[in-house]
Structures are given as structure tokens and as C-alpha cells.
Structure 1
Amino acid sequence: MPAPIASRHVSTVIRRAPKEVYAYAADPDHLPAWAAGLAQSEVTRQGDTLLVDSPMGQVQVHFVPRNDLGVVDHDVVLPSGTVVTNPMRVLAHPDGAEVLFTVRQIELTDDEFERDVALVAADLERLREILESSAPA
């Protein structure tokens, strides 16, 4: 039996209303600005499928439908065809909003997994910087 897939939760607190954070984070057009671990250029749409040039090569991204619960889950189809489900939430926090992202060790060595966790942490920090430096909606 193979070893269980490791998961790590990465989060950051953003001093903005959860609805504002959700609206920005759930908009695929904003991915290149803050999610360098996923999107390195503009997002191309093919129906409900998003095509993204990522550090892993071109990947397909499928977000859950917009919702009032702060759920920004998305599946990423890797060049190998493997589908990685990425749970992501925008939660209410006493200081504004907390963004929580679960990183899973799928098709990654331990070193690659640690690098991926660090990339997600850097992406969430960029998201925080962008949202805290812009005027409230």
C-alpha cells in the first residue's frame, strides 16, 4: 500500500473584508498578479477551462463556481494528466480575512513539496500585499 499523500495548510491574514479578498482571489484574471506558483502569464479561456502557463508547463485550471462561502477550490490538470485538487478558502478573521490554502504532495519529492509550500506562502504574501495596498472596494 502506498504512503498517504502529505498535506500542509498555508495561510495568511489580510486586513480587508472577506468578501473583497474573495472577489479578488476568485477572479482568474488576477492570477498572474499574485499566484506566480501557478500563473506566469495571462489566463486563456476555453469555455469553462482556464489555460495557464505555469512553472510546470501549460496546465488547465477549473475553479468551483462563485459562491457566498469563500470557497476558491480549483483543480489543476498537470501536463502529465494528473489532476491536483487545491482546497482554498477565504475565512472571516478578527483582523479581516484569512486565506487558507492546502498544498498536497502529489507527484513531488519531499524537497519539491517543501519548495511548493514555500511558493504558495509567497503567493499568499503577494496577495496580502496587493489587497492591503489598494483602496477598499
Structure 2
Amino acid sequence: MSPITPRPPASRHVTQIIRRPLAEVYAFAADPQNLPRWARGLAGSDVRREAEAWSMDSPMGRVLVRFAAPNDLGVLDHVVTLADGTSVLNPMRVLALGPEASEVVFTVRQDSPEALDEDAAAVAEDLERLREVLEHDA
């Protein structure tokens, strides 16, 4: 009898249209010091640089965040390392929708449908705050 292969986690793409150019959305979202303004599911306070990562308080406790290297493609993938040492890759992109609008796409992955629904809802709230900050406060 062969061993049971674990089922891969379920994925869901959460998107948000933002009426700002790709470069502006990317620059704002890529700056970890802006995370408390829009990514409340990840960053609460006390964001500081630590070697090659950013350390911050979050609803999950103290976390380390490492973003993909700066790029012209809108890639904002980031690895979040939790206090227990678990690391989670979060794929994220900013896509151009013409010269004055962008779409942010965040891929949520979870092992259960319930956790997927919960995390997707939290990410949707964060992306809505990102839209609000960039369209109204910028």
C-alpha cells in the first residue's frame, strides 16, 4: 500500500481594482513601513528593519516579512515567518489596467475551506483599505 499523499492546499485569488498607476500602487504596497496603514491582517505596529527582513507586531504575534526584490513587473510576493518559525509564501501582484488603473491580485492558500474563506475575507478587507488609502488619501 502506498502512503497517502497530502492534498495540496486550496487557493483563491483575491483582487482589487485601484484607480492609480501600477508604479504608484507598487511603490506604496512594496514599502513595509506602509503596511500598518492598509494590511491590518499582517502588520499592526512597530515595523522595523532587521537584516534582510522586516519585523513587525501583527495579530499573529511578532512576524518577519521578506518581500521579493524590487522589480518592474509588479511582483510583491512575500514570505511571512511566524513566531513559531513557520514560513508562508504569499504570492501578490500588481497588474496594469491601462495608464491610470491597476489590479492587485493576492493568492490565498489554506488547507481547509473554512480557513480559506476566513483568510480570503481578511485579505479582501486589506486590499479594500489599500484602495481607499491610494485613491482617497494619496
- Could you tell me how far 1:113 is from its partner in structure 2? 2.6
Count of matched residue pairs: 133
Secondary structure, counterpart of 1:65 in structure 2 = coil
1:121 equivalent among 111, 114, 124: 124
How far does residue 104 in structure 1 lie from its aligned partner after superposition? 1.0
SS of 2:42's equivalent in the other structure is coil
Q: C-alpha displacement at 1:45, in angstroms?
A: 1.2
> 1:97 is matched with which residue: 92, 97, 102?
102
Identity of aligned residues (%): 57
Q: Which residue is equivalent to 2:71?
A: 67
Q: Select which of 4, 13, 36 maps to 1:9.
A: 13
CA distance in 1, matches of 2:73, 2:47: 24
Give 1:43's aligned residue: 47
CA RMSD of aligned residues (A): 1.4
Q: CA deviation at 1:4?
A: 1.2
In the other structure, the counterpart of 1:132 is 135
Length-normalised TM-score, structure 1? 0.91
Deviation at 1:79, TM superposition (A): 2.2
Give the partner amino acid of 1:123. D
What runs of 5+ residues in structure 2 fail to find an aligned partner? none
CA offsets, 1:55-114, max 9 Å, x none?
1111111011111111111001122222111111000114600000011115xx432331
**Alignment match, 2:85:** 81
> How many Å separate the matches in 1 of 2:108 and 2:63?
17
The DSSP-based 3-state class of the residue aligned with 2:62 is: strand
Displacement of 1:54 after TM fit? Answer: 1.3
Q: 1:35 Cα shift? A: 0.1
* SS class of match (2:127): helix
SS at match of 2:94: strand
Q: Which has the larger radius of gyration?
A: 2
The residue type paired with residue 121 of structure 2 is A
More deviation, 72-81/22-31: 72-81
